[in-house]
């Protein structure tokens, strides 16, 4: 099995809870920001023809086709083939790009009619993240102790009101991982956070990662 630097269990959750409901054998898929290729291999094992894409092939270990491409490019969809993929995945990628709207716009352009894209990103609206910002003024998973290429926090309200409509895509489904919990928080604190979260009406107060299923606007 190919290692991944994402939160433990995130790939399995995406595959079992989300992709299994959308994938049909023979679909053409592209995995953006593929890294070593762990998700690309999962998708291939589910019966898809997969293309892996990342800035370069360094560390790529999957037995699937790979293209080196800068996902900060203004029109990378044209390079890959507009409207030519039945499934697009981008696992923990959008927070690395310079323009989330531009990235989402390209994701939408890649989708064939009726296709979906599945994206994940850190949940910077969780209770744990809000407490961190309140006490330190720093965004969780985006500070100096985090992955240095995390540059674009995705805030839930702005995502729905601004980013998705401007990019020409819409949200079809939304999940949180882990469900009703906090994997990145010490267990002694996570239990208290779960209790406090029950007092909030926020849709995104728990979970360390968003899992988004998006489709093109008509």
Counted domains in the chain = 1
Q: What pLDDT shows up at residue 139?
A: 97
Q: What is the dihedral of CA 90, 92, 94, 95, to 10 degrees?
A: -170
Closest CA to 63 of 92, 27, 34, 32: 34
Q: How confident is the model at residue 66 (pLDDT cuts 50, 70, 90)?
A: very high
State both tokens at 217: 């606007």
Residue 176 has pLDDT above 90, yes or no: yes
* CATH number for position 20: 3.40.50.150
What are 20-37's pLDDT values in tens digits?
999 999 999 999 999 999
In a domain, 4, yes or no: no
What's the pTM value of the predicted model, to 2 decimals? Answer: 0.94
Q: Which residues of 152-175 are buried (b: 16+ CB within 10 A; e: fewer)?
A: bbbbbeebeeebbeebebeeeeeb
Q: What pLDDT shows up at residue 111?
A: 98
In a domain, 50, yes or no: yes
Please state whether 127 falls in left (phi above 0), alpha (psi between -120 and 50) or beta.
Answer: alpha
In a domain, 1, yes or no: no
In a domain, 30, yes or no: yes
- Asked if the peptide bond before residue 29 counts as cis, ω within 30 degrees of 0, the response is no
In a domain, 141, yes or no: yes
In a domain, 53, yes or no: yes
Range of the domain at 68: 10-216
In a domain, 2, yes or no: no
In a domain, 5, yes or no: no
Contact 217, 170 (CB under 8 A): yes
What are 128-157's pLDDT values in tens digits?
999 999 999 999 999 999 999 999 999 999
């Amino acid at each position: 099995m190919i290692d991944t630097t994402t939160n433990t269990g995130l790939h399995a959750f995406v595959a079992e809870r989300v992709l299994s409901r959308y994938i049909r054998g023979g679909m053409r898929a592209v995995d953006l920001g593929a890294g070593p290729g762990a998700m690309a291999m999962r998708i291939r094992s589910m019966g898809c023809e997969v293309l892996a894409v990342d800035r370069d092939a360094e560390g790529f270990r999957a037995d699937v086709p790979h293209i080196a491409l800068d996902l900060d490019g203004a029109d990378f969809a044209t390079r890959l083939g507009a409207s030519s993929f039945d499934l697009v995945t981008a696992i923990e990628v959008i927070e690395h790009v310079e323009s989330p709207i531009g990235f989402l716009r390209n994701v939408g352009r890649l989708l064939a009619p009726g296709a979906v894209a599945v994206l994940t990103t850190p949940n910077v609206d969780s209770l744990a993240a809000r407490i961190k910002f309140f006490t330190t003024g720093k965004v969780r998973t985006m500070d100096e102790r985090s992955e240095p290429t995390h540059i674009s926090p995705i805030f839930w309200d702005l995502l729905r009101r601004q980013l998705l409509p401007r990019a020409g895509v819409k949200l079809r489904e939304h999940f949180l991982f882990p469900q009703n919990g906090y994997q990145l928080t010490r267990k002694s604190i996570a239990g208290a956070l779960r209790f406090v979260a029950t007092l909030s009406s926020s849709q995104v107060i728990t979970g360390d990662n968003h899992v988004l299923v998006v489709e093109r606007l008509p």
